[in-house]
Amino acid sequence: MTIKCADSAGFCFGVKRAVDTVYDLLAKENHKVYTLGPIIHNEQVVEDLASQGVQVIEHPDEIAKEDRSQAILVIRSHGVGKFLYDALEEKGMRMVDGTCPFVKKIHTIVNEAWNQGKSIIIAGDGKHPEVQGINGWCGNTAIILESPEEAKAAVLDTEKDYAVVVQTTFRQSKFDDMLAILQEKGLKMEISQTICSATEKRQKEAMELSQNVDKMIVIGDKKSSNTQKLVEICKKNCENTVHIETICDLVLKTFKKDDRIGITAGASTPPAIIKEVVVTMSEIENVNVEEVSFEQMLE
Protein backbone atom coordinates (compact mmCIF):
# COMPACT_ATOMS: atom_id res chain seq x y z
CA MET A 1 0.00 0.00 0.00
CA THR A 2 1.19 3.50 -0.81
CA ILE A 3 -0.19 6.75 0.54
CA LYS A 4 0.14 10.17 -1.05
CA CYS A 5 -1.09 13.26 0.75
CA ALA A 6 -1.68 16.45 -1.26
CA ASP A 7 0.79 19.21 -0.43
CA SER A 8 -1.96 21.81 -0.04
CA ALA A 9 -4.28 19.73 2.18
CA GLY A 10 -5.71 21.53 5.19
CA PHE A 11 -5.91 25.05 6.57
CA CYS A 12 -5.53 27.88 4.11
CA PHE A 13 -4.12 31.25 5.12
CA GLY A 14 -7.50 32.91 5.70
CA VAL A 15 -8.91 30.09 7.81
CA LYS A 16 -5.77 29.76 9.92
CA ARG A 17 -5.76 33.51 10.49
CA ALA A 18 -9.39 33.49 11.69
CA VAL A 19 -8.96 30.49 13.99
CA ASP A 20 -5.70 31.82 15.45
CA THR A 21 -7.46 35.14 16.12
CA VAL A 22 -10.06 33.48 18.35
CA TYR A 23 -7.55 31.34 20.23
CA ASP A 24 -5.33 34.40 20.78
CA LEU A 25 -8.28 36.32 22.21
CA LEU A 26 -9.03 33.46 24.58
CA ALA A 27 -5.42 33.45 25.76
CA LYS A 28 -5.05 37.20 26.23
CA GLU A 29 -8.48 38.63 27.07
CA ASN A 30 -10.80 38.37 30.04
CA HIS A 31 -13.74 39.40 27.90
CA LYS A 32 -16.49 37.08 26.68
CA VAL A 33 -15.71 36.01 23.11
CA TYR A 34 -18.45 35.54 20.51
CA THR A 35 -18.24 34.63 16.82
CA LEU A 36 -20.75 35.87 14.28
CA GLY A 37 -21.63 32.50 12.83
CA PRO A 38 -19.23 29.53 13.11
CA ILE A 39 -15.69 30.89 12.71
CA ILE A 40 -15.06 28.24 10.03
CA HIS A 41 -16.96 25.27 8.64
CA ASN A 42 -15.42 22.65 10.89
CA GLU A 43 -17.44 21.11 13.68
CA GLN A 44 -14.41 19.91 15.65
CA VAL A 45 -12.86 23.39 15.80
CA VAL A 46 -16.18 25.04 16.69
CA GLU A 47 -16.81 22.48 19.46
CA ASP A 48 -13.33 22.99 20.89
CA LEU A 49 -13.83 26.76 20.98
CA ALA A 50 -17.24 26.29 22.59
CA SER A 51 -15.66 24.17 25.31
CA GLN A 52 -13.46 27.17 26.11
CA GLY A 53 -16.41 29.53 26.34
CA VAL A 54 -16.72 30.90 22.80
CA GLN A 55 -20.36 31.40 21.85
CA VAL A 56 -21.67 31.35 18.27
CA ILE A 57 -24.38 33.89 17.49
CA GLU A 58 -26.11 34.89 14.26
CA HIS A 59 -26.79 38.57 15.07
CA PRO A 60 -25.30 41.11 17.51
CA ASP A 61 -28.72 41.54 19.14
CA GLU A 62 -28.27 38.09 20.69
CA ILE A 63 -25.73 39.61 23.09
CA ALA A 64 -27.58 41.06 26.06
CA LYS A 65 -27.18 44.84 26.48
CA GLU A 66 -25.67 44.44 29.93
CA ASP A 67 -23.00 42.09 28.50
CA ARG A 68 -21.95 44.20 25.51
CA SER A 69 -19.29 46.21 27.31
CA GLN A 70 -17.45 42.97 28.12
CA ALA A 71 -18.04 41.30 24.76
CA ILE A 72 -15.67 40.83 21.83
CA LEU A 73 -17.37 39.77 18.60
CA VAL A 74 -15.23 38.06 15.96
CA ILE A 75 -16.40 38.24 12.33
CA ARG A 76 -16.02 34.80 10.77
CA SER A 77 -13.65 34.01 7.92
CA HIS A 78 -16.52 33.97 5.38
CA GLY A 79 -17.21 37.66 6.00
CA VAL A 80 -20.51 39.51 6.44
CA GLY A 81 -22.43 42.30 4.77
CA LYS A 82 -21.87 46.01 5.37
CA PHE A 83 -25.08 46.37 7.38
CA LEU A 84 -23.62 44.21 10.16
CA TYR A 85 -20.55 46.41 10.48
CA ASP A 86 -22.90 49.40 10.66
CA ALA A 87 -24.99 47.67 13.34
CA LEU A 88 -21.92 46.93 15.45
CA GLU A 89 -20.71 50.52 15.17
CA GLU A 90 -24.16 51.84 16.13
CA LYS A 91 -24.24 49.61 19.21
CA GLY A 92 -20.68 50.56 20.13
CA MET A 93 -19.63 46.93 20.34
CA ARG A 94 -16.03 45.78 20.20
CA MET A 95 -15.34 43.80 17.04
CA VAL A 96 -12.37 41.85 15.66
CA ASP A 97 -12.52 41.17 11.93
CA GLY A 98 -11.55 37.60 11.02
CA THR A 99 -12.72 37.91 7.41
CA CYS A 100 -10.35 36.24 4.96
CA PRO A 101 -8.37 38.98 3.15
CA PHE A 102 -9.29 37.46 -0.22
CA VAL A 103 -12.99 37.70 0.67
CA LYS A 104 -12.46 41.24 1.96
CA LYS A 105 -11.05 42.17 -1.44
CA ILE A 106 -14.28 41.00 -3.09
CA HIS A 107 -16.29 43.19 -0.70
CA THR A 108 -14.28 46.22 -1.86
CA ILE A 109 -14.67 45.37 -5.56
CA VAL A 110 -18.42 44.87 -5.23
CA ASN A 111 -19.04 47.96 -3.11
CA GLU A 112 -17.03 50.23 -5.41
CA ALA A 113 -18.73 48.85 -8.54
CA TRP A 114 -22.17 49.22 -6.97
CA ASN A 115 -21.45 52.81 -5.96
CA GLN A 116 -20.50 53.46 -9.60
CA GLY A 117 -23.96 52.31 -10.66
CA LYS A 118 -22.98 48.90 -11.95
CA SER A 119 -25.10 45.78 -11.46
CA ILE A 120 -23.38 42.93 -9.64
CA ILE A 121 -23.22 39.28 -10.71
CA ILE A 122 -21.84 36.76 -8.21
CA ALA A 123 -20.90 33.29 -9.42
CA GLY A 124 -21.40 31.08 -6.38
CA ASP A 125 -23.73 29.31 -4.00
CA GLY A 126 -26.40 31.75 -2.84
CA LYS A 127 -26.92 29.76 0.36
CA HIS A 128 -23.26 30.01 1.36
CA PRO A 129 -22.38 32.63 4.02
CA GLU A 130 -19.50 33.98 1.93
CA VAL A 131 -21.80 34.77 -0.99
CA GLN A 132 -24.46 36.20 1.33
CA GLY A 133 -21.81 38.44 2.87
CA ILE A 134 -20.60 39.62 -0.56
CA ASN A 135 -24.19 40.40 -1.54
CA GLY A 136 -24.41 42.57 1.57
CA TRP A 137 -21.92 45.03 0.03
CA CYS A 138 -24.26 45.93 -2.82
CA GLY A 139 -27.47 46.30 -0.84
CA ASN A 140 -28.38 42.63 -1.43
CA THR A 141 -29.11 43.43 -5.09
CA ALA A 142 -26.68 41.00 -6.72
CA ILE A 143 -27.68 38.45 -9.32
CA ILE A 144 -26.36 35.16 -7.95
CA LEU A 145 -25.68 32.37 -10.44
CA GLU A 146 -24.53 28.93 -9.31
CA SER A 147 -24.25 26.97 -12.55
CA PRO A 148 -23.91 27.27 -16.34
CA GLU A 149 -27.61 26.35 -16.54
CA GLU A 150 -28.55 29.30 -14.34
CA ALA A 151 -26.28 31.59 -16.37
CA LYS A 152 -28.01 30.44 -19.57
CA ALA A 153 -31.49 30.98 -18.11
CA ALA A 154 -30.72 34.41 -16.60
CA VAL A 155 -32.52 37.35 -18.22
CA LEU A 156 -29.97 40.18 -18.26
CA ASP A 157 -29.99 43.69 -19.73
CA THR A 158 -27.39 44.29 -22.45
CA GLU A 159 -27.68 48.04 -21.82
CA LYS A 160 -26.41 47.73 -18.23
CA ASP A 161 -22.85 47.59 -16.98
CA TYR A 162 -22.11 44.51 -14.90
CA ALA A 163 -19.34 43.72 -12.43
CA VAL A 164 -18.74 39.98 -12.12
CA VAL A 165 -17.08 38.34 -9.11
CA VAL A 166 -16.84 34.72 -8.03
CA GLN A 167 -16.94 32.90 -4.71
CA THR A 168 -13.38 32.17 -3.54
CA THR A 169 -13.98 28.40 -3.37
CA PHE A 170 -15.80 28.07 -6.70
CA ARG A 171 -14.56 25.63 -9.32
CA GLN A 172 -12.55 27.45 -11.98
CA SER A 173 -13.79 25.24 -14.82
CA LYS A 174 -17.42 25.91 -13.90
CA PHE A 175 -16.77 29.65 -13.68
CA ASP A 176 -15.10 29.60 -17.11
CA ASP A 177 -18.18 27.87 -18.58
CA MET A 178 -20.47 30.44 -16.98
CA LEU A 179 -18.39 33.35 -18.26
CA ALA A 180 -18.52 31.97 -21.80
CA ILE A 181 -22.33 31.85 -21.59
CA LEU A 182 -22.57 35.39 -20.20
CA GLN A 183 -20.24 36.69 -22.91
CA GLU A 184 -22.43 35.06 -25.56
CA LYS A 185 -25.29 37.23 -24.26
CA GLY A 186 -23.32 40.31 -25.32
CA LEU A 187 -23.14 41.81 -21.84
CA LYS A 188 -20.89 44.69 -20.87
CA MET A 189 -18.92 43.10 -18.04
CA GLU A 190 -15.98 43.90 -15.83
CA ILE A 191 -14.77 40.49 -14.67
CA SER A 192 -12.78 39.98 -11.47
CA GLN A 193 -11.13 36.56 -11.12
CA THR A 194 -11.59 36.21 -7.35
CA ILE A 195 -11.20 32.46 -6.89
CA CYS A 196 -8.57 32.07 -4.17
CA SER A 197 -5.20 30.92 -5.52
CA ALA A 198 -4.95 28.41 -2.66
CA THR A 199 -8.34 26.99 -3.65
CA GLU A 200 -7.28 26.69 -7.27
CA LYS A 201 -4.04 24.94 -6.26
CA ARG A 202 -5.88 22.57 -3.92
CA GLN A 203 -8.41 21.63 -6.60
CA LYS A 204 -5.70 21.10 -9.22
CA GLU A 205 -3.73 18.84 -6.86
CA ALA A 206 -6.89 16.89 -6.01
CA MET A 207 -7.59 16.34 -9.71
CA GLU A 208 -4.05 15.15 -10.46
CA LEU A 209 -3.84 12.95 -7.39
CA SER A 210 -7.23 11.30 -7.92
CA GLN A 211 -6.21 10.37 -11.47
CA ASN A 212 -3.31 8.28 -10.20
CA VAL A 213 -4.66 6.35 -7.21
CA ASP A 214 -7.06 3.49 -6.55
CA LYS A 215 -8.84 5.19 -3.66
CA MET A 216 -9.20 8.81 -2.51
CA ILE A 217 -9.87 10.10 0.99
CA VAL A 218 -11.19 13.66 1.25
CA ILE A 219 -11.17 15.05 4.79
CA GLY A 220 -13.41 17.94 5.77
CA ASP A 221 -16.64 19.11 7.31
CA LYS A 222 -19.84 18.12 5.49
CA LYS A 223 -20.88 21.80 5.46
CA SER A 224 -17.62 23.00 3.93
CA SER A 225 -18.13 24.29 0.39
CA ASN A 226 -14.49 23.90 -0.67
CA THR A 227 -14.42 20.33 0.68
CA GLN A 228 -17.53 19.44 -1.31
CA LYS A 229 -15.82 20.78 -4.45
CA LEU A 230 -12.83 18.50 -3.75
CA VAL A 231 -15.16 15.50 -3.38
CA GLU A 232 -16.80 16.32 -6.72
CA ILE A 233 -13.44 16.62 -8.47
CA CYS A 234 -12.06 13.41 -6.98
CA LYS A 235 -15.18 11.36 -7.74
CA LYS A 236 -14.92 12.29 -11.41
CA ASN A 237 -11.50 10.64 -11.58
CA CYS A 238 -11.72 8.00 -8.86
CA GLU A 239 -15.04 6.32 -8.14
CA ASN A 240 -13.62 4.95 -4.87
CA THR A 241 -13.63 8.39 -3.22
CA VAL A 242 -14.74 8.68 0.39
CA HIS A 243 -15.54 11.88 2.27
CA ILE A 244 -14.82 11.80 6.00
CA GLU A 245 -14.81 14.41 8.76
CA THR A 246 -12.45 12.53 11.09
CA ILE A 247 -10.67 9.17 11.28
CA CYS A 248 -13.77 7.82 13.08
CA ASP A 249 -15.66 7.91 9.75
CA LEU A 250 -13.09 5.81 7.91
CA VAL A 251 -13.83 2.11 7.38
CA LEU A 252 -10.31 0.68 7.35
CA LYS A 253 -11.32 -2.81 6.26
CA THR A 254 -12.23 -1.45 2.80
CA PHE A 255 -8.55 -0.78 2.09
CA LYS A 256 -6.23 -3.47 0.71
CA LYS A 257 -2.48 -3.94 1.00
CA ASP A 258 -1.85 -3.17 -2.66
CA ASP A 259 -4.03 -0.03 -2.79
CA ARG A 260 -2.64 3.28 -3.93
CA ILE A 261 -4.34 5.83 -1.68
CA GLY A 262 -4.58 9.57 -2.13
CA ILE A 263 -5.49 11.98 0.69
CA THR A 264 -6.55 15.60 0.50
CA ALA A 265 -8.45 17.92 2.82
CA GLY A 266 -10.53 21.07 2.69
CA ALA A 267 -9.31 24.50 3.74
CA SER A 268 -11.16 24.25 7.07
CA THR A 269 -9.62 20.93 8.11
CA PRO A 270 -7.19 21.23 11.06
CA PRO A 271 -3.71 19.73 10.56
CA ALA A 272 -4.18 17.44 13.57
CA ILE A 273 -7.14 15.69 11.92
CA ILE A 274 -5.19 15.16 8.68
CA LYS A 275 -2.20 13.87 10.63
CA GLU A 276 -4.38 11.39 12.53
CA VAL A 277 -5.70 9.94 9.26
CA VAL A 278 -2.25 9.69 7.68
CA VAL A 279 -0.71 8.13 10.80
CA THR A 280 -3.53 5.60 11.14
CA MET A 281 -3.26 4.58 7.49
CA SER A 282 0.52 4.37 7.70
CA GLU A 283 0.28 1.96 10.62
CA ILE A 284 -1.38 -0.60 8.40
CA GLU A 285 1.14 -3.33 7.58
CA ASN A 286 3.61 -2.62 4.76
CA VAL A 287 2.56 0.96 4.15
CA ASN A 288 4.91 3.31 2.34
CA VAL A 289 4.05 6.94 3.09
CA GLU A 290 5.14 9.05 0.11
CA GLU A 291 4.90 12.51 1.59
CA VAL A 292 6.63 15.28 3.46
CA SER A 293 7.20 14.90 7.17
CA PHE A 294 4.29 15.47 9.55
CA GLU A 295 6.15 18.46 10.96
CA GLN A 296 6.23 20.07 7.49
CA MET A 297 2.55 19.28 6.97
CA LEU A 298 1.66 20.90 10.29
CA GLU A 299 3.54 24.02 9.27
Is residue 214 within 8 A of residue 206, CB to CB? The reply is no
H-helix segments, the chain: 13-28, 43-51, 82-91, 101-115, 129-135, 148-153, 172-184, 197-210, 225-237, 271-282, 294-298
| Cα–Cα separations (whole angstroms), residue 258 to 47, 166, 255, 262, 286 | 37, 41, 9, 13, 9
* Closest C-alpha among 16, 30, 101 to residue 71: 30
Rounded Cα distance, 219 and 277, in Å: 9
Catalytic site includes residue 130: yes
* Closest C-alpha among 107, 84, 112 to residue 167: 107
Of the listed 130, 146, 245, 291, which one is catalytic?
A: 130
CB under 8 A, 24+ apart: contacts of 139-144:
139/114, 140/81, 141/114, 142/110, 143/119
Rounded Cα distance, 196 and 102, in Å: 7
Catalytic residues, by residue number, are 130
